[in-house]
Amino acid sequence: MKAILFLGTSLVSAQYLRQSVEALGLRPIFLLRINEYSGLPRRAIEACEYYEADVNSMDDTLYAIRQHNFMDSVAAVTSFLDETFQNVCAISDHFGVAGPDPALAQLTDKIITQKMIPEFCPPSMVFTLSDISEERLRFFLGSQKTCNTFVLKPGISSGAVGVFILNDDTTTEQITQLICHSQIEKAESRCWIIQPRISGHLYSLEGYVQHGQIFFLGFSKRIREGLTEIVNEFPANKSLPDYLQQRCYEAVKVLVQRSNYLNGYFHCEFIVNSETVYFIDGNVGRVAGASIVQQIALAYDKKPVDVIKHVIDLGLFKGINTSGFRYGTISKNQTLSISYCLPSPATVLGVTLPKNMTSFHTPIIDNG
């Protein structure tokens, strides 16, 4: 049986991937760091064929492929991690197997997407450590008259990895130290971006593109503790005024058109305040992470396995195997997901769930 190679997976989606892939007449192979997973996601991965690799490193990924020599059985390659899609596209081209929409090679980079639709984005300063100067930094920070805190982030990342908060008196030396200690591979040679830290709510517009036609599924509203997203409401359209929704729709439409993105899912992120919206991340190529795939399934009365199957088939095979799949109308007007954890390091002895619970529960660590 031919296989789909996954360069990593999100935690919640891991439990559904094997069944979704097998429904397409294929089997999954994973490349990842297995020690980055525990609980139910790890058990789901270990039930499949998997090999160790740092999938954020193209060199390490190619080394693992050569070492284990499995590409003859691979029909396609993809991922459920935003930051790996450039490597996914490169592997697809290198080995001549099916891969995601070629537009993803650029759309996973925050800097490129914001250059495509600057009219929807916050002011930005893009730099590498080799070309940043104190004069340029002072000019940019000083030009944002209504802002005294800023966000520093790499062009390619997800889950707030490598994101730092700056003050208006931050120096280039301090930025250099932050980047060099960010634990991001080749951080010193990457492109980085500084933007004003805009007050507002974090929304994500969920949907997909098929043959260039956009289908919007609804808005997610996310609540953060620090830089970590812990609560998500879906659909949250009712909490967002229509004129702000229309601005978000327009941003996604323009991005799809200018990038020539034809087939695949998206979860485009916006900071929303009472006056306007700011596009901050494209997040294209897969359904959103955390528990949002379960929320979409609940809201539309679908099974998560079937949603994941459509995500994979649309992204890799233009939806030819799921041509009859339709979301239809929303059957549940609101769902809620909560990522819960402890405030300090500890050993989890057990979790007691409410009786007669009708929700999904995904333990991502094991007791003990």
* φ/ψ of residue 201, rounded to 5: -95, 150
The b-or-e profile of 105-129 (16+ CB within 10 A means b, else e) is bbbbbbbbbbebbeebbbebbbbeb
C-alpha–C-alpha distance, residues 291 and 234, integer Å: 10
24, 309 contact by CB (below 8 A): yes
C-alpha–C-alpha distance, residues 273 and 88, integer Å: 35
Q: Which contacts of 303-306 are long-range, i.e. CB under 8 A and separated by 24 or more positions?
A: 304/16, 304/360, 305/16, 305/19, 305/20, 305/23, 306/20
Name residue, tokens 């802002």: 147
Q: What was the pLDDT predicted at 237?
A: 96
How do beta strands 49-52 and 164-167 pair? unpaired
* φ/ψ of residue 351, rounded to 5: -125, 125
Q: What are the structure tokens assigned to 13, written together?
A: 């989606």
What DSSP string runs through 300-318?
TT--HHHHHHHHHHHHHHT
Q: What was the pLDDT predicted at 132?
A: 92
How do beta strands 149-154 and 164-167 pair? antiparallel
Q: Which domains are seen in the chain, by residue range?
A: 3-99 (3.40.50.20), 123-196 (3.30.1490.20), 201-338 (3.30.470.20)
pLDDT along the chain (368 residues), means of 10: 96 96 98 96 98 95 97 97 92 97 91 95 94 94 90 82 90 94 84 94 96 97 74 94 97 98 96 93 85 94 97 97 96 86 82 82 85
Q: What was the pLDDT predicted at 42?
A: 97
Q: What was the pLDDT predicted at 228?
A: 64
* φ/ψ of residue 267, rounded to 5: -145, 80
Closest among 68, 43, 49 to 2, alpha carbons compared: 49
Q: Is 277 helix (H, G, I), strand (E, B) or coil?
A: strand
| CB atoms closer than 10 angstroms to residue 355 | 5
Closest among 101, 137, 160, 148 to 280, alpha carbons compared: 160
Q: Is 261 helix (H, G, I), strand (E, B) or coil?
A: coil
